[in-house]
Chain A
Amino acid sequence: MNGWMGKIIQIDLGSNRQQALPVTPETLRRFLGGRGLGVKLYTDLCPDPLDPFAAENALIFMTGPLTGTVMTSGRYQVVSRSPLTGTICDSSSGGSFGAVLKSAGLDGLVIRGRADHPVYLFINDGGIEVRDAADLWGLNTQQTQKAIHERTPAKTSVACIGPAGENRVPFAAIMNDRDRAAGRGGMGAIMGSKNLKAVAASGNRAVVIADPEAYQAMNARLDRAVDKNPVTGKSLQVLGTPVLVNVINAHGMFPTRNFRSGVFNDAEGISGEKIAETLLQRQSACYKCPIGCGRTTKTRNRQGEGPEYETVWAFGAQLGISDLTAIAEANYACNELGLDTITMGSTIGCAMELHEAGALGEKMLWGDANRLVGWVQDTACRRGFGAELGLGSRRLAAKYGRPELAMQVKGMEIPAYDPRGAQGMALSYATSNRGGCHMRGYMIMPEILGHPVFLDRFSTAGKPEIVALFQDIAAVVDSAILCRFLQFAMGISTFSEMLRAVTGLDFSDEELLTAGRRIYTLERLFNNRAGFMRADDTLPPRFFQEEFQTGSSRHRRVRLEEMLDAYYAVRGWDAQGAPSAATLAELGL
């Protein structure tokens, strides 16, 4: 087989029984791999929504047909039902783990059951070994990776959890290649619930390329395209993702103090430009990545990777903190303990507003940089007030009687773009299948950054169609699997060209977009079964009722009602947000 390895293994950690899961060539073509095939497998295995921590729940690690081949193909996706949201969830991570897992012979690994003691999996040359991890339990993610590297062959790659995952914090991340995170949605907590500390992979199997000549020529051409593009060839390399701090702040939509302002007065001090002058040691890159947006950084006392744009915001403007050292060290702590920085920061900000509003006695003060790392540590270990921060913002705000103060959609915290500043992004957040996430349909690209075309951010016209298109393309990229940043330099026609060269199948752009729509719709079907309908496709009331008084997004509100019906119509969903029978038939679902 070209592209795919032709092997997906299911292992039950309760019985240690392993079995191959057969997947037909037609299914591969219709769902590709990664997120798409992972969601297909998940919804076949667990059609009725389970408690995410139930032993029988499936946790699925997926590679894609492009994994281990073209540029940026080291990524992997993890699919399950999120303990944070209750929706279907997939979480993506870079580094090299995906490529190494595939070189071990697997397209995917389905994990079910619960081990009766801590274990890790060692996958080598297609075989899976369950190994004791009793002495690894309690170690942080970097200690865990180091310890497993000492027990495995050179070039083994490790995806693992830290204390947060062990303690089932519902926004615990899976960490690999030191500081790469499958961050959002709490996939690390599901590993913890299975007593699974890590998955380690090693192998030498090559991916078979259908058309090596076309493949080589294409790669050379795409290298030049990435190099020539000012975003992928320059900006991301030199300034990394935090270059967006000043961009978004200048647009008056940099969420500040729990989304109560769109302008952070100290933005310059935490900007990508400032990080490049202060903390930055060098850039770093994932497997076969010509971009290299990663930041290796250092404070006076600590070193690590990041912070990325989202993290600068979550521990910075969201909390009224302008101390770059504190932000970086809170980021290092999240990486080590295995926590999603966006949910962590947003939940702390929610607690600060709850305290200010008199609803929460715990003294949580805006701008309190000194306690930041302590809050992160307490959350991972579920001690003191950290046990409450570990609920995530939705449950925390509900517990203290002010649910509207949680800046979340379907339980997932909204990231660093205030939706009042970009109507398409607002619709994308509201309809995202995993909740308040920018990655399902990144409308900031056209609405702020002007890629591939510039759209008026305050207009709702045409946005339903474009949001659906962006969501479908994202589903393709997450299933192939590639890095989203390639989209600054290339589009769907390049992705179909890559898939043709690698798999030998005659994928057209249209077939891929249909696959994206099929994947999105399948996710939606699961969410419908889990109880998510039209009423859940919304945003916190703040975005409909309150306006900023300053900045260039002032006097704006989200106008979701102008877009939602049209979006459902584009999607072929009914008025309640359920896919129609005709849509299901058209997509073969």
Chain B
Amino acid sequence: MAGTVTVRFYALLRRQLKTAAIEVEADGGSLLELLTRAEELAGQGFLDELLDPGNELLTGTIILVNGENVRLKDYLNTRVRAGDTVDLFSPAGGG
């Protein structure tokens, strides 16, 4: 049965999109496919805040799937399934 993935926006992404989270229909595909659909749902582009033109993660971009950094999984090829949570942080720092 179809379900959704919760995509949460943080840092400057949230200010840009003026929303904290959206639900995106899951199809068991890759993270990149999911984020592309999320972009359409959000009504405006945001992937250029996270990825370079070659779709590589920018230095400082943090994407967590169920709390785990995708750099420790399969990067943008990480599979996402119904019920998963994806946290998106545009590059941020402090101390």
Contact = CB atoms under 8 A, between A and B. Distances in A.
Contacts of A442: 95
A504 B15 CA distance: 45
Interface string A221-240: 00000000011101110111
Given A239-B92, A244-B92, A442-B95, A273 B10 contact: yes
Given A230-B60, A250-B64, A449 B71 contact: no
A488 B64 contact: no
Contact of B60 (A242, A252, A449, A551): A449
Interface in B3-26: 10-12, 14-15, 20
B93 A485 contact: yes
A308 to B, nearest CB: 8
A14 interface: no
A484 interface: yes
A335 to B, nearest CB: 18
Chain B, interface size category, equals: 20 to 34
Interface in B28-82: 49, 58-62, 64, 66-69, 71-72
Secondary structure at the A interface, as helix, strand, loop or mixed, is helix
Contacts of B58: 230
Nearest to A238: B12
Given A247-B10, A252-B67, A451-B60, A238 B15 contact: yes
Interface residues of A, number: 43
A276 interface: yes
B11 A552 contact: no
A143 B72 CA distance: 52
A310 B89 CA distance: 19
A450 B93 CA distance: 10
B12 A234 contact: yes
Contact of B72 (A250, A308, A456): A456
A28 interface: no
Q: By CB atoms of chain B within 10 A, which of A230, A308, A452, A484 has the most?
A: A230
Interface of A: 230-232, 234-236, 238-244, 246-247, 250-252, 268, 272-273, 276, 293, 308-310, 438-439, 442, 444-445, 448-452, 454, 456, 484-485, 488, 551-552
12 contacts: A235-B90, A241-B95, A243-B93, A243-B94, A244-B94, A247-B89, A273-B15, A308-B94, A442-B95, A451-B93, A488-B60, A551-B67
